């Protein structure tokens, strides 16, 4: 039953509730979790329902479809493709958007399905991924959107530290607040959500750096790993070890640590540097690059070192430990590590409940 990702559901629940409280204390009333890292895992997603979030977000419609039965409203975080508007209206209550043409298509489809579709309009504050560029003129587009009968403009948002690595700051987020004020004054409407980014904005907490009009964040990594992602530091008071990779030893032998003969490239076409450390007690585990990028794993046992691997094998220096075949070795994961493992059909899942 290995390899598997073990998930501590109690710790996840703790981090969810802690994130709600932590955000409230920093003037953010609406946390909209982004659970794309779960690759459609309903069991784990249901924890977010239990914690009372109003919306849960995913980047893929296929996953939102799996979450159909959950109480929370669903939102699509990747701006919709024109070719998927039918499913977007069917499976998502809300989507993030940045193209007028797509919004009009959503409107037509919503009319067909006799629904109202909510949108958060995305503005690019300089990170250069999705959104209307902040410093341009937007009123003409907004006017057209407000005239669409089956579209509800719920708010505006931005995404930071994703492509350009732009670090959130008061001045950058204030660009979004200026857009909010302009829209509300000019059109005499009020927007529910001013969505100031993702887990990189958590870096501003406790610094009095978040403009008070920013009332919402879309958070994934901050909840799953207790991290802010502007500088990738752990946030005190959160769990950082909710997820564990467990893999089984299939070979355990003492061998030379240096290849015996002329060497070329490995199975991934890479020239690897191998140090001669003399005889070494080594283990091979049944998990590989097909499941996860090995750099995203870290053995929980400090005595162990990852020395390499291939598609299906992970090789460990056991140093002076006494592991043997059939033993399970545990690893800490980072966000990309978890993302790949959850998407590998060869990796099982284990749900850890109360001890």
Binding residues for ligand PLP, rule: CB under 6 A, are: 34, 36, 59, 77, 96, 159, 198-199, 218-222, 229
- 143 catalytic? Reply is no
The size of the chain, in residues, is 355
Q: Report, in Å, the least distance between residue 57 CB and ligand PLP.
A: 7
State the Cα–Cα distance between residues 161 and 227, nearest whole angstrom: 14
Residue closer to ligand PLP by CB (options 72, 280) is: 72
Q: Which of 42, 34, 142 is nearest to 78 (CA)?
A: 34
| Pick 109 or 130: Cβ nearer ligand PLP | 130
Minimal distance, residue 15 CB to ligand PLP, in Å: 12
Q: Is 83 helix (H, G, I), strand (E, B) or coil?
A: helix
Greatest CA separation found in the chain?
Answer: 77
State the DSSP H helix or E strand holding residue 246, giving kind and residue range, or none if neither. Answer: strand 243-256
Nearer to ligand PLP, 35 or 66 (CB): 35
In angstroms, give the least distance from the CB of 43 to ligand PLP.
20
Considering the candidates 36, 73, 86, 298, report the single residue annotated as catalytic.
Answer: 36
Alpha-carbon gap, residue 111 to 90, rounded angstroms: 12
User: At its nearest, how many Å lie between ligand PLP and the CB of residue 179?
Assistant: 17
Q: Which residue is nearest to ligand PLP (CB)?
A: 220
Q: How many CB atoms lie within 10 A of CB 189?
A: 11
Nearer to ligand PLP, 59 or 290 (CB): 59
**Shortest distance in whole angstroms from residue 187 CB to ligand PLP:** 24
In eight-state DSSP terms, residue 239 is -
Nearest to ligand PLP of 80, 222 (CB atom): 222
Tokens of 132: 């209307």
Helices (H), 284-331: none
The number of helices, as runs of H, and strands, as runs of E, in the chain is 9, 19
Question: Which residues belong to the active site?
Answer: 36
């Amino acid at each position: 039953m290995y390899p598997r990702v073990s998930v501590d559901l109690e710790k996840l629940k703790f981090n969810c509730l802690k994130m709600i409280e932590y955000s409230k204390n920093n003037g953010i009333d609406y946390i909209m979790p982004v659970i794309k890292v779960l690759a459609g895992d309903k069991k784990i997603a249901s924890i977010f329902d239990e914690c009372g979030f109003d919306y849960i977000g995913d980047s893929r419609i296929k996953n939102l479809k799996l979450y159909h039965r959950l109480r929370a409203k669903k939102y699509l975080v990747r701006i919709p493709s024109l070719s998927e508007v039918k499913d977007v209206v069917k499976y998502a209550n809300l989507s993030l958007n940045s193209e007028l043409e797509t919004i009009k298509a959503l409107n037509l489809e919503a009319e067909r399905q006799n629904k109202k579709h909510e949108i958060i309009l995305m503005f690019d504050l300089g990170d250069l991924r999705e959104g209307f560029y902040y410093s341009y003129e937007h009123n003409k587009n907004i006017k057209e959107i407000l005239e669409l009968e089956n579209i509800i403009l719920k708010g505006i948002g931005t995404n930071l530290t994703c492509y350009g690595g732009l670090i959130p700051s008061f001045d950058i987020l204030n660009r979004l607040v200026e857009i909010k004020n302009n829209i509300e004054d000019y059109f005499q409407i009020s927007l529910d959500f001013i969505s100031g980014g993702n887990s990189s904005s958590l870096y501003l907490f406790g610094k009095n750096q978040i403009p008070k009009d920013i009332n919402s964040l879309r958070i994934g990594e901050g909840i799953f790993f207790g991290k802010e992602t502007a500088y990738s530091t752990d946030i005190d008071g959160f769990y950082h070890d909710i997820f564990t990779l467990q893999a089984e030893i299939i070979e355990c032998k003492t061998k030379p640590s240096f290849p015996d003969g002329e060497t070329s490239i490995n199975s991934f076409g890479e020239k690897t540097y191998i140090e001669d450390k003399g005889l070494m007690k080594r283990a091979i585990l049944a998990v590989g690059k097909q499941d996860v990028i090995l750099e995203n794993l870290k053995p929980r046992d400090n005595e162990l070192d990852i020395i390499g691997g291939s598609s299906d094998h992970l090789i460990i220096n056991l140093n002076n430990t006494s592991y043997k075949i059939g033993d399970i070795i545990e690893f800490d994961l980072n966000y990309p590590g978890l993302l790949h493992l959850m998407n590998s059909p060869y990796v099982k899942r284990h749900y850890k409940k109360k001890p």
